[in-house]
Amino acid sequence: MKELDPLVFLAVFQEMLGPLLWVMLLLIVGGTVAFVALLLKERRIDSKRLVRAELAGLLGGVLALILMAKVSSSGFTDAGGPADWFLIALVFGLGLAGTAILIYTWAGWRGRRLAG
């Protein structure tokens, strides 16, 4: 494969995730729009809400790893080289960041500080 074709990635992810792919893409786009709208509305980042959202994001990272293990044909014991471990760390990080942004946004629009 000499060139990257986004449609190939879309086909692979569609095969792996099925309808969940479209739910995840909707969450990504909707969450990003809601986050930007919240930032424009509040004109600041609430540090307490952000820290609590980051803590909740840890669970999102773990859930992203579980989803990765379910949809792929290999498990964590099959990871051998640095590229495999980098991909595992990347999946965890994206799950953590995505969940933190969604939780922060949800709490901001609900007017909550996430217990505390």
* Domain residue spans of the chain: 6-110
- Torsion 64-65-70-74 (CA) sign: positive
pLDDT at 115: 54
What's the DSSP call for residue 2?
A: -
pLDDT at 103: 96
Q: What global pTM score does this model have?
A: 0.82
pLDDT by residue for the chain (116 residues), tens digit each?
577 788 888 888 888 888 998 999 999 999 999 999 999 999 999 999 999 999 999 999 999 999 988 888 776 677 778 888 898 899 999 999 999 999 999 999 998 655 55
